[in-house]
Amino acid sequence: MKKLSSIKLVGIITILFFFSVVLETKMYVYGQNYNIKSINQTPSYVTPETNISITIEVYDSENISYIRLFFCQLSPDFICDTKPILMEQNGNVFSGNYYITQGSGSTIGYHFIVYYTNGTNILLPNSVDFLGLDNIVQPTDDTYYIKIDISEPTTEKTPVYLFTSLFSLFIIPIVRKKLI
């Protein structure tokens, strides 16, 4: 058997170490330690006087007693004056609704507490796990929120292509008949 040169041996060890780090990194899924699979907000574009729905999907709901959702205004002033929302459970999906009363230009946020059947609970997001989200803010020293910006309502205008389509459908055939 041929002896491997020390340079080749170091190269092989380096490559094996690199792949072990990559594989270990890809195995971790945000929120998985807390049984959270995904978090969704509908609609994604929020304006004043909008009802938004938050859904939290978990891997296994058997270990979860319930989830409470907490909304706060984060700016211009930090105000937490809403009651916690007990999320409704449908299988592995928990959902809750919140009606936006804050004006455009404000920022609101929410976090939630997962209550487990073993009597423990966890506030999420937290300093250890942002749940894979990039819209996490920390308005106070000890609490993190999933941030939602409230935008100015837009008025929808009729697209120009609608008028050109109508023109093509009705006016051109009429003109064509008169020319023939």
User: What are the tens digits of pLDDT across the range 20-29?
Assistant: 433 333 333 4
In angstroms, the CA 163 to CA 80 distance is 48
pLDDT > 60? residue 46: yes
Structural domain count, the chain: 1
Judged by DSSP in three states, 19 sits in helix
Beta strand extents in 31-135 (DSSP E only): 36-42, 51-58, 64-75, 85-86, 88-90, 93-99, 107-116, 121-124
pLDDT > 80? residue 85: yes
In angstroms, the CA 150 to CA 166 distance is 36
More confident residue, 16 or 69: 69
Helix (H) or strand (E) holding 118: none
Residue 155 belongs to a domain = no
Residue 85 belongs to a domain = yes
pLDDT > 70? residue 8: no
Q: Residue 102's CB: how many other CB atoms inside 10 A? A: 19
Residue 141 belongs to a domain = yes
Residue 168 belongs to a domain = no
Domain holding 67: CATH number? 2.60.40.10
Residue 121 belongs to a domain = yes
Judged by DSSP in three states, 39 sits in strand
The pLDDT assigned to 168 comes to 52
Residue 173 belongs to a domain = no
In angstroms, the CA 161 to CA 28 distance is 48
More confident residue, 65 or 32: 65
Residue 37 belongs to a domain = yes
Evaluate whether 121 touches 64 at the Cβ level (below 8 Å): no
Evaluate whether 137 touches 72 at the Cβ level (below 8 Å): no
- Residue 66: domain span: 27-149
Residue 170 belongs to a domain = no
